[in-house]
């Protein structure tokens, strides 16, 4: 049996390819499904099943397109109610893929339909457990997301259900099996995930706070719910797309790959009220951009920040990309359900400049220049997450995390201030949002706290981030 993890760093998501004796199964596929089809074809294997661990909130899964293109059957765990044809498995039901056995283990808690899949070889020896968002490396799935879909359940009740699933269904399995989760560090589906993306179950029992053998139900509920940030606004919309269905990615790309001259781009913007999304490098955006445009760089954690900042998957978009990366941008937007791209600026910002249209810029300085102008009276806004801020920050700085800036604009100082993040990416996102809202009285600090740390500005005493959440 072949078990391969296919990890996509920009959304911290893991899909899995399982193959045995000419048959294959895909677990939690991304929306762009051709790589799975190509992999199976290259191995002379036929994709038989598409297993989903649950209705995902942080990305739109590729189950429908993959089933349509391969004839594979979609499988969900107990209680799932998709609006399309699928096998709704019973708890402990087994499926054969070649000589291997895939056993459904219903593990509600993260969501009610959440299920894990136990992988056993031809001798029926358990080798691995695909855990979805039920169990991560170093963490467990947050139990508050399903509240937005199933309103009568509280996060406390879901946490209690998750406690039972972990102890009665997962912790009783052999210690030597490998845990294969759906996410790693950086995902908003948990709060304390490791950068490692696999581990043995036995080691997780020793190191994962949520699997302590002597943990009471009350302790589990308290610790799992402590420190959870408000989930991004696009999460419930992605859940509904995964339940109800969506337009094929092929159609989305054909519809969205519309090259617009600067004149056509400007005219389209005037009649469709889009968000103009600029995905170039932050250094390029700082120098010159279309007034009112939003920066979210394609080379950062692009899709999750689009979801968190733009929020509404039905929002029309016009995009500005590096040359040749138009289809990549459209595809990565579709991963989180943003399918309403009305076109892209042909020739990029250079064509816009040549057409003589207005541009804007962000006042930005080096950390050394910032240090030369910094005084005890300087106003500083720190755009990092609370845990990062608590670990180390400029004394007196205001913590206004980028994650929820759209709801906290009233906290922005009314007089001039400096803006920074960890390395320069997030502060430019925030700067673009502030400018689009008419807020211009700030100076961006390049390279963020990583650059400021090298100057003579004294920072607060460092505290391990794991202790500062």
pLDDT for 8: 92
Nearest-CA neighbor of 76 among 59, 63, 58, 66?
Answer: 63
Pairing relationship of beta strands 317-320 and 294-295 according to DSSP bridges: unpaired
> For residue 21, what are its two tokens?
């004796």
The DSSP secondary-structure symbol of 173 reads S
Which two three-digit tokens encode residue 79? 């209680």
The 3-state DSSP class for residue 24 equals strand
DSSP 360: B
The confidence band for 148, taking pLDDT boundaries of 50, 70 and 90, is: low
**Contact, 40 vs 64, CB < 8 A?**
no
Q: Does position 149 have pLDDT exceeding 60, yes or no?
A: no
pLDDT band at 185 (very low <50, low <70, confident <90, very high): confident
State whether residue 424 is helix, strand or coil: coil
H-run or E-run covering 221: helix 217-225
**Beta partners for 116?**
105
**pTM (predicted TM-score):** 0.93
Distance of CA 404 to CAs 57, 305, 411, 427, Å? 18, 11, 11, 13
Contacts of 66 (CB under 8 A, 6+ apart): 26, 29, 33, 36, 37, 47, 50, 72
Would you place residue 230 in the very low, low, confident or very high pLDDT band (cuts 50, 70, 90)?
confident
Query: Which of the four pLDDT bands, split at 50, 70 and 90, describes residue 469?
Result: very low
Res. 153 pLDDT band, cuts 50 70 90? confident
What CA–CA distance (Å, rounded) separates 283 from 276? 18
How far apart are the C-alpha atoms of 311 and 275, rounded to whole Å?
11
Do residues 155 and 225 make contact, with C-beta atoms less than 8 angstroms apart? Answer: yes
Q: How many Å apart are CA 102 and CA 119, to the nearest integer?
A: 5
Percentage of the chain lying above the pLDDT 70 cut: 97
Map out the domains of the chain with their CATH numbers: 2-235 (3.60.15.10), 247-354 (3.40.250.10), 364-467 (3.40.250.10)
Secondary-structure breakdown of the chain: helix, strand, coil percentages, each rounded to the nearest 5: 35, 20, 45
Residues 20/97, Cβ–Cβ less than 8 Å: yes
| HEC profile of 277-338 | EECCCHHHHHHCECCCCEECCCCCCHHHHHHHHHCCCCCCEEEECCCCCHHHHHHHHHCCCC
pLDDT tens-place string over residues 39-59: 999 999 999 999 999 999 999
Residue 168 burial (CB count, 10 A): 10
In this predicted model, which residue has the larger pLDDT, 229 or 345?
345
Q: Average pLDDT, stretch 407-414?
A: 95
Give the Cβ contact number of residue 447 at 10 Å: 18
Q: Is the pLDDT of residue 268 over 50?
A: yes
DSSP SS3 for 66 = helix
Residue 337 confidence (pLDDT) above 90:
yes
- 5 contacts: CB under 8 Å, gap ≥ 6: 14, 15, 16, 180, 197, 198
Instruction: Grade residue 87 by pLDDT with cuts at 50, 70 and 90.
Output: very high
Q: How confident is the model at residue 4 (pLDDT cuts 50, 70, 90)?
A: very high
Average pLDDT score over the chain? 95
Give pLDDT, residue 188. 78
State the pLDDT at residue 160: 97
b/e burial code for range 335-355 (CB count within 10 A of at least 16 → b): bbbbbbbbbbbebbbebbeee
Order the strands of the 259-260 sheet from edge to edge.
259-260, 341-345, 317-320, 275-278, 294-295
């Amino acid at each position: 049996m072949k078990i391969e993890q296919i990890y996509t760093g920009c959304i911290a998501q893991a899909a899995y390819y399982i193959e045995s004796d000419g048959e294959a199964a895909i677990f939690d596929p991304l929306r762009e499904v051709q790589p799975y089809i190509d992999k199976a074809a290259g191995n002379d294997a036929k994709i038989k099943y598409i297993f989903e661990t649950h209705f995902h909130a942080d990305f739109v899964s590729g189950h429908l397109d993959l089933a349509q293109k391969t004839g594979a059957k979609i499988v969900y765990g107990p209680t799932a109610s998709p609006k399309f044809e699928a096998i709704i498995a019973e708890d402990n039901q087994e499926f054969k893929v070649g000589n291997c056995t895939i056993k459904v283990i219903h593990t509600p808690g993260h969501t009610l339909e959440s299920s894990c899949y136990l992988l056993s070889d031809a001798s029926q020896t358990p080798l691995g457990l695909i855990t979805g968002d039920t169990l991560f490396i170093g963490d467990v799935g947050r139990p508050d997301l399903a509240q937005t879909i199933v309103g009568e359940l509280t996060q406390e009740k879901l946490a209690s259900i998750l406690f039972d699933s972990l102890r009665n269904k997962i912790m009783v399995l052999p210690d030597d099996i490998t845990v294969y989760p759906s996410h790693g560090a950086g995902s908003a589906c948990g709060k304390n995930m490791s950068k490692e993306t696999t581990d043995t179950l036995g080691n997780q029992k020793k190191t994962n706070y949520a699997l302590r053998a002597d943990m009471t139900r009350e302790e589990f509920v308290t610790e799992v719910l402590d420190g959870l940030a408000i989930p991004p606004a696009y999460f419930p919309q992605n859940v509904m797309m995964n339940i109800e269905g969506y337009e094929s990615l092929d159609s989305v790309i054909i519809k969205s790959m519309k090259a617009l001259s600067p004149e056509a781009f400007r005219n389209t913007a005037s009649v469709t009220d889009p968000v103009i999304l600029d995905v170039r490098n932050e250094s390029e955006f700082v120098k010159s951009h279309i007034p009112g445009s939003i920066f979210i760089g394609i080379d950062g954690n692009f899709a999750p920040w689009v979801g968190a900042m733009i929020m509404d998957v039905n929002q029309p978009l016009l995009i500005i990309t590096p040359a040749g990366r138009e289809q990549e941008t459209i595809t990565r937007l579709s991963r989180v359900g943003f399918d309403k791209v009305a076109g892209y600026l042909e020739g990029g910002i250079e064509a816009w400049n040549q057409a003589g249209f207005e541009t804007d810029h962000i006042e930005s300085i080096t950390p050394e220049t910032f240090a030369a102008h910094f005084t005890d009276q300087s106003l500083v806004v720190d755009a990092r997450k609370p845990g990062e801020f608590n670990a180390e920050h400029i004394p007196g700085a205001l913590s206004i995390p980028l994650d929820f800036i759209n709801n906290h604009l009233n906290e922005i100082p009314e007089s001039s201030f400096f803006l920074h993040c960890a390395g320069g990416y997030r502060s430019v996102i925030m700067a673009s949002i502030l400018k689009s809202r008419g807020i211009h009285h700030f100076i961006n600090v390049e390279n963020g706290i990583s650059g400021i740390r090298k100057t003579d500005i004294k920072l607060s005493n460092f505290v391990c981030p794991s202790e500062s959440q």
